[in-house]
Structure 1
């Protein structure tokens, strides 16, 4: 991938990273995390424990999703730095620029992504 195109994606990824971090800070609303806040709420509230548990579980799931997003962004930035950005990790072909614009953290070309999703689906058959 050419350097100007890599620079464009690097800026896009850095903005995505800043946005995720800003979202985390806004959602936490302070120095403690949502899980800790939910725990504090549980200690002082004598109300609906099921609702408090559900809110804590949701907060933890959101934290996990945000951590995964940051990890994917950081991995893409590392691939830019090493010159591997835009190459499918499975087959090594160039990932189409349109796909990278739609999903700057993409690891695979569409064909290999489809195969990976099918393999993941067959590993966990539905009941």
Structure 2
């Protein structure tokens, strides 16, 4: 991938990372850590135990999703740094830029991703 195009994706990924970090902070009630956020959630739990459990479960699920997104973004930024960004992890072909614009953390071309999702191996 040429440098100006990888710079475009780097800018997009850095912005996505900032958004994900802001969402995590908001879910945690500010810049508190995971343990502090859990303690705050337990302390402010409502009298309805089922509702409180559901709220904690949803918060945990959202945080896990955001954390996974951060890992994927950081991995994509590493691929930009080492020059492998935009190459399919499985077959090595260039991932179309339209796919990368839609999903800048994509690891595979459409064919390999489809094969993976269907439980098949293209290699």
> Does TM, scored on the shorter chain, surpass 0.5?
yes
Q: Quick one: distance in 2 between partners of 1:66 and 1:96?
A: 25
In structure 2, stretches of 5+ residues that fail to align are none
- The residue number in structure 2 matching 1:53 is 53
Please tell me whether the aligned partners of residues 35 and 59 of structure 1 are also in contact (alpha carbons under 8 angstroms): no
CA distance in 2, matches of 1:15, 1:32: 22
Cα deviation per residue 1:18-63 (whole Å; 9 max; x = unaligned)? Answer: 1111121223223254433221123xx4x11011111111111111
CA RMSD of aligned residues (A): 1.5
Superposition TM-score, scaled by structure 2 size? 0.89
The CA deviation string for residues 62-93 of structure 1, in whole angstroms up to 9 with x for no partner, is 11000000000000000000100000000000
Instruction: Give unpaired runs (5+ residues) of structure 1.
Output: 121-127
CA distance in 1, matches of 2:44, 2:50: 13
Q: Distance in 2 between matches of 1:19 and 1:115?
A: 31
The 5 Å alignment of 1:110-125 reads 110-119=110-119
Aligned length: 117
Q: 1:35 aligns with which of 32, 35, 38?
A: 38
Aligned residues of 2:17 and 2:70 also touching (Cα < 8 A)? yes
The 8 Å contact of residues 24 and 66 in structure 1, kept in 2 or not, is answered as: yes
Other-structure match for 2:83? 83
CA contact (8 A) 1:35 1:60 kept: no
Change in Cα spacing, 1:98 to 1:24, as seen in structure 2 (3 Å) is: same
- Matching residue of 1:125: none
